[in-house]
């Protein structure tokens, strides 16, 4: 059952120093219909939606991610939604999210998104200190965040998320505490608190090493993680995923589809779709994506299925990110009993891995904090088991 769609909008005003996403830097003025590159790309997305076999059920979640989707005009968002509606269908009340970056949109634009059907915004604030924003190459400043939030509130968007990043160069514990408290004060319904990841091809990846100056030491970043858990939980946010917190009733429905390893459509360059156990990644530049569109396979059956072992490992890696973890009954229906038993056995020696109400999950906050370590153990164990059993 596929009821989720991701649409990738790859344009950004500049490239942030930590970012290795598939994007096109389009300059500081390009926007909406006035930018030929954006128009051309929207036409390609509309074509891809049209060429994709619809699997029967209307969409319950749609997520415009990027890049900077707020470089699209309301008319362009509407065009894409109309194409999805006509080709696949959209369920009434579906969660329709758009990522928006401070300093890239107006109130009239947000009102236009809302009229087009958008009912959830995700604001990339990242930090509440101008020096930190500047040091990571962000386009916006704190004043832009404040203005963006005022617009979101004026319009009365009932469901909106705010993103923060921990572990930035020269970020102190006090900076992080200030950013968390500022976020709480604005009362978004959802907060994402990510740890900086050093990707090798980025400015940061080339210049910095984890845990060494000017990046905070590992002990400090661990402390920041625990601080987020403590402050946000105390403020009424449910720590429902390793990096995500929500007020009651406001978990991100779309992202939960990924974490449950369920299927979803993907549209646009660099996007991945996961349909009928087939994961399909699109090329990461505009020109290669446009060429790829011309050769899109007619049928999903032409794409190789993910192996059972891949699906098993993905299901564990993704599902254990969730507070609720993974339903063991569901695992037992999908995968060999011996694999499930090996997992249950691991809970006897690994205290950060628990079973509650027949769900396998990490403990909070320690299991979440050391999730890589626990997942590494599972990975080794499961790979050995699977290879032995498959061989």
Question: For residues 107 and 151, is the Cβ–Cβ distance under 8 A?
Answer: yes
- Segment lying near ligand SF4 (by CB under 6 A), choices 15-23, 149-157, 192-200, 317-325: 15-23
Q: Please tell me the count of residues contacting ligand SF4 according to CB under 6 A.
A: 10
Please tell me whether residue 167 binds ligand SF4 under the rule CB under 6 A.
Answer: no
Least separation in angstroms between CB 252 and ligand SF4: 17
- Segment lying near ligand SF4 (by CB under 6 A), choices 61-69, 79-87, 218-226, 271-279: 61-69
Gap between the Cα atoms of 140 and 101, Å rounded: 8
- Alpha helices, DSSP H only, in 263-370? 286-294, 308-319, 328-334, 337-346, 366-369
Please tell me whether residue 169 binds ligand SF4 under the rule CB under 6 A.
Answer: no
Q: Where are the beta strands (DSSP E) in 101-207?
A: 120-126, 160-166, 190-195
Least separation in angstroms between CB 32 and ligand SF4: 17
**Among 41, 48, 66, 118, which residue interacts with ligand SF4 (rule: CB under 6 A)?**
66
Least separation in angstroms between CB 187 and ligand SF4: 24
Please tell me whether residue 21 binds ligand SF4 under the rule CB under 6 A.
Answer: yes
Question: Which CB atom, from 66 or from 367, has the smaller least distance to ligand SF4?
Answer: 66
Gap between the Cα atoms of 192 and 197, Å rounded: 14
Please tell me whether residue 101 binds ligand SF4 under the rule CB under 6 A.
Answer: yes
The DSSP element (H or E) to which 97 belongs, if any, is: strand 90-100
Question: Which CB atom, from 23 or from 231, has the smaller least distance to ligand SF4?
Answer: 23
Q: Which of residues 22-41 bind ligand SF4 (CB under 6 A)?
A: 23
Q: What is the DSSP letter of 132?
A: H
Least separation in angstroms between CB 258 and ligand SF4: 18
SS3 183: helix
For 155, other C-beta atoms within 10 Å of its C-beta total 16
**Among 4, 5, 9, 19, which residue interacts with ligand SF4 (rule: CB under 6 A)?**
19
Least separation in angstroms between CB 16 and ligand SF4: 3
| Nearest residue relative to ligand SF4 (C-beta) | 19
Distance of CA 12 to the CA centre of its chain: 17
DSSP string, 107-123: HHHHHHHHHHT--EEEE
Q: Which of residues 319-338 bind ligand SF4 (CB under 6 A)?
A: none
**Among 12, 100, 165, 343, which residue interacts with ligand SF4 (rule: CB under 6 A)?**
12
* Residue 305: φ, ψ to 5°: -75, 145
Gap between the Cα atoms of 352 and 373, Å rounded: 10
Question: For residues 334 and 300, is the Cβ–Cβ distance under 8 A?
Answer: no
Question: Which CB atom, from 48 or from 101, has the smaller least distance to ligand SF4?
Answer: 101
Question: Which CB atom, from 21 or from 370, has the smaller least distance to ligand SF4?
Answer: 21
**Among 6, 42, 49, 67, which residue interacts with ligand SF4 (rule: CB under 6 A)?**
67
* Residue 25: φ, ψ to 5°: -75, 125
Gap between the Cα atoms of 120 and 161, Å rounded: 8
Positions touching ligand SF4 (CB under 6 A) are 12, 15-16, 19, 21, 23, 66-68, 101
């Amino acid at each position: 059952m596929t009821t989720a769609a991701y649409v990738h909008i790859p344009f950004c005003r500049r490239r942030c120093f930590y970012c290795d996403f598939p994007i096109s830097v389009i300059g500081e003025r390009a926007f909406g219909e006035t930018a030929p590159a954006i128009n051309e790309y929207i036409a390609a997305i509309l074509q891809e939606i049209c060429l994709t076999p619809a699997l029967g059920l209307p969409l319950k979640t749609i997520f415009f991610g990027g890049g900077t989707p707020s470089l699209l005009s309301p008319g362009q968002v509407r065009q894409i939604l109309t194409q999805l509606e006509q080709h696949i269908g959209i369920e009434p009340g579906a969660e329709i999210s758009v990522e928006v970056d401070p300093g890239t949109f107006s109130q009239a634009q947000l009102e236009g998104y809302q009229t087009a059907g958008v009912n959830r915004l995700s604001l990339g604030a990242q930090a509440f200190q101008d020096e930190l924003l500047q040091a990571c190459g962000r386009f916006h400043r704190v004043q832009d965040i404040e203005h963006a939030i005022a617009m979101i509130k004026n319009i009365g968007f009932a469901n909106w998320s705010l993103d923060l990043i921990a572990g930035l160069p020269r970020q102190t514990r006090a900076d992080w505490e200030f950013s968390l408290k500022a976020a709480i004060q604005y009362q978004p319904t959802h907060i994402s608190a990510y740890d900086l990841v050093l990707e090798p091809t980025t400015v940061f990846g080339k210049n910095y090493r984890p845990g060494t100056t000017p990046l905070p030491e590992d002990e400090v970043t661990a402390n920041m993680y625990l601080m987020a858990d403590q402050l946000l939980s105390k403020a009424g946010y449910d720590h429902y995923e390793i990096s995500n917190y929500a007020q009651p009733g406001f978990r991100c429905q779309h992202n939960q589809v990924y974490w449950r390893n369920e299927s979803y459509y993907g549209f646009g360059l660099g996007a991945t779709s996961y349909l009928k156990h087939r994961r399909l990644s699109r090329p990461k530049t505009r020109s290669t994506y446009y060429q790829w569109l011309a050769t899109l396979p007619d049928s999903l059956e032409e794409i190789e299925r993910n192996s059972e072992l891949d699906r098993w490992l993905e299901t564990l890696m993704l599902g254990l990110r969730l507070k609720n973890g993974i339903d063991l009954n569901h695992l037992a229906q999908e995968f060999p009993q011996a694999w499930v038993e090996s997992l249950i056995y691991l809970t006897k020696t690994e205290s950060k891995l628990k079973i509650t109400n027949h769900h396998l999950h990490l403990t909070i906050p320690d299991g979440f904090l050391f999730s890589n370590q626990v997942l590494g153990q599972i990975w080794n164990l499961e790979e050995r088991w699977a290879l032995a059993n498959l061989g």
